[in-house]
Structure 1
Amino acid sequence: MWMYLGLLAALFLGLHNLCKKHAVQGNEVFPVLLGTIGSGFLLLLPFFIGSLYFPEYTQQIGFHITSISWKTHGFIFIKSMIMTTSWVLAYQALKHLPITIVTPIRSAGPFFTFIGAILIYQEKPNFLQWIGFFLIIFSVVLYSKIGKKEGIHFKRNKWIFAIIGATFLGASSGLYDKFLIQSLALNPQTLQFWFCTYTVLILLGILSITWFPRAEKRKDFKWRWTIIAVGILLQAADYFYFKALQDPDALIMLLSAIKRSQILIAVVVGGLIFKEKNKRKKLIPLFGIMIGVFLILYS
């Protein structure tokens, strides 16, 4: 069952990436990010209020947000710091790079998760899983060659380094999620609500320095409906992902790879919507990544 939940998470992540590209294109990144996380927070807020005043009902519908210790709050705050940094880097890169370049680089995330799962959780890969992960990495390198034809030189473009850093931090957060869900026994909605709360507070702190005091930057911000859509789709994806992680048999390295199947939506549909270049050539490494994911699932 946890694999099917992972595929549902991938579906919502693919749609989330399409909306995210539209939300940040030619827009101010930090307020867009605050709007998306704030939308997720507002989506979960009624469940938090309901858990305080109508606990029996929220438990009945499966969306009860439980009380947690201050120590657990601290662990969730660490996740918020990691993911805020990752998102800031990713959103800046997405603003300046084609979605058909950004998304496949993000697809290398399972490789970092794969190594961490071996070292931290002693998850044991087999031969096909090794092949699958190295095929994903090779396909990402192939994307870099195609990117040069669009004037994107991977060694000299700072946004490439930004998306690589975002990918590494995102993978680290994925490993941390297994600790939060399985070791601390947090349910998905409790983790999501407090994660959104702390992330909103961190972003408000950043914007109070970098955006709110500057009138010219405030004028550059454009409100778009996709900002709300990004927040809702992200919460849906996270919910199914965390539900999958609740299964004690779930392997974080496989879940991370399954989530990468979102690139089928982002590269094929996104390439058509945003009319990006070299779509046919990008299908070659795309299939390489998909075969790598298939080998992991098949194994």
Structure 2
Amino acid sequence: MWMYLGLLSAVFLGLHNLCKKHAVQGNEVFPVLLGTITSGFLLILPFYLGSQYDPEYMKSLGFYIEDIPLKKHGFIFIKSGIMAASWVLAYQALKHLPITIVTPIRSAGPFFTFIGAIFIYQERPNLLQWIGFFLIIGSVILYSKIGKKEGIVFTRNKWIFAIIAATFLGASSGLYDKFLIQNLTLNPQTLQFWFCFYTVLILLIIMSFTWFSKPEKRKAFKWRWSIPAVGVLLQTADYFYFKALQDPEALIMLLSAIKRSQIIIAVVIGGLIFKEQNKRKKLVPLAGIMLGVFLILYS
């Protein structure tokens, strides 16, 4: 069951990436990010209020948000800090790079998760899983060669380094999620609610120095329907992902790879919507990434 939940998460993540690209095009990154996280927070807020006023009813629905001790709040705050840094870097990169370049680099995230799963959680891959992960990495290298034809030199473009750093931080957060869900026994909706709450606080602090005090930046911001859509789709994807992680048999390195199947939506549909270059050539490394994911699932 946890693999199917992972695939559901991938579908919503793919749609989330398309909306995110639309939201940041020609727009200020920080208010877009704040808008998306706030939208996700408002989506979950009724569950928190319901849990305070009618806990038994919310438990019957399966959306009860628990009261947790201060120590667990501290662990969730750490996750919020990691993901806030990852999103700021990723949104900036997405604003300046084609989605058909950004998404495949992000697809290398399972490789970082794979290494962490081996050394931290002692998950043991077999031969097919090794082949799958190296196929993913090799395909990302091929994307870099295609990117040069669009004027994007990977070793000289700062936004490439930004998306790589964002990918590493995101993978670290994925490893941390397993600790939060399985070791601290947090249920998905409790983790999502407090994670959104602390992320909004962090972004408000950052924006008080970088955006609120600058009228020209405030005027440049454009509100778009895709901003709240990003938040709603992300929270939906995260819910299925965290539900999958609740299964004690779930392997974080496989879940991370399964989530990368979102790349089909981002590269194929996104390439058509945003009219990006070299779409056919990008199907070759796309096939490599999908074959890598298939080998992991098959194994």
TM-score by length of 2: 1.00
AA matched with 2:215: A
Offset at residue 22 of structure 1 (A): 0.0
User: Which residue number in structure 2 is paired with residue 189 of structure 1?
Assistant: 189
Q: Tell me the distance in 2 between the aligned counterparts of 1:149 and 1:277.
A: 9
User: Which residue number in structure 2 is paired with residue 213 of structure 1?
Assistant: 213
User: Which residue number in structure 2 is paired with residue 242 of structure 1?
Assistant: 242
Offset at residue 230 of structure 1 (A): 0.2
Offset at residue 211 of structure 1 (A): 0.1
AA matched with 1:253: M
AA matched with 1:282: K
What do the CA deviations read for 1:120-178 (whole angstroms, capped 9, x no partner)? 00000000000000000000000000000000000000000000000000000000000
AA matched with 2:241: Y
TM-score by length of 1: 1.00
Map of 1:37-116 to 2, 5 A cutoff? Answer: 37-116=37-116
Offset at residue 74 of structure 1 (A): 0.1
Q: Tell me the distance in 1 between the aligned counterparts of 2:57 and 2:276.
A: 48
Following TM superposition, the consecutive aligned residue runs of length 4 or more in structure 1 with deviations greater than 4 angstroms are none
What do the CA deviations read for 1:8-29 (whole angstroms, capped 9, x no partner)? 0000000000000000000000
User: Which residue number in structure 2 is paired with residue 259 of structure 1?
Assistant: 259
Q: Tell me the distance in 2 between the aligned counterparts of 1:36 and 1:132.
A: 33
Q: Tell me the distance in 2 between the aligned counterparts of 1:32 and 1:54.
A: 34
User: Which residue number in structure 2 is paired with residue 3 of structure 1?
Assistant: 3
Offset at residue 86 of structure 1 (A): 0.2
* Residue segments in structure 1 that go unaligned for 5+ positions in a row: none
Task: Tell me the C-alpha RMSD between the 2 structures.
Answer: 0.2
Secondary structure at the counterpart of residue 100 of structure 2: helix
Q: Tell me the distance in 1 between the aligned counterparts of 2:43 and 2:256.
A: 25
User: Which residue number in structure 1 is paired with residue 149 of structure 2?
Assistant: 149
Q: Tell me the distance in 2 between the aligned counterparts of 1:68 and 1:259.
A: 29
What do the CA deviations read for 1:85-127 (whole angstroms, capped 9, x no partner)? 0000000000000000000000000000000000000000000
Offset at residue 190 of structure 1 (A): 0.1
Q: Tell me the distance in 2 between the aligned counterparts of 1:130 and 1:272.
A: 32
Offset at residue 184 of structure 1 (A): 0.3
Secondary structure at the counterpart of residue 236 of structure 1: helix
Counting aligned pairs with the same residue, the percent is 83
What do the CA deviations read for 1:63-104 (whole angstroms, capped 9, x no partner)? 000000000000000000000000000000000000000000
Offset at residue 198 of structure 1 (A): 0.0
Q: Tell me the distance in 2 between the aligned counterparts of 1:133 and 1:46.
A: 40
Map of 1:174-185 to 2, 5 A cutoff? Answer: 174-185=174-185
AA matched with 2:242: F
Q: How many residues in Structure 1 have an aligned counterpart in Structure 2? A: 299
* Residue segments in structure 2 that go unaligned for 5+ positions in a row: none
AA matched with 1:262: Q
Q: Tell me the distance in 1 between the aligned counterparts of 2:153 and 2:221.
A: 28
Q: Tell me the distance in 2 between the aligned counterparts of 1:212 and 1:67.
A: 33
What do the CA deviations read for 1:267-286 (whole angstroms, capped 9, x no partner)? 00000000000000000000
User: Which residue number in structure 1 is paired with residue 272 of structure 2?
Assistant: 272
Offset at residue 290 of structure 1 (A): 0.2
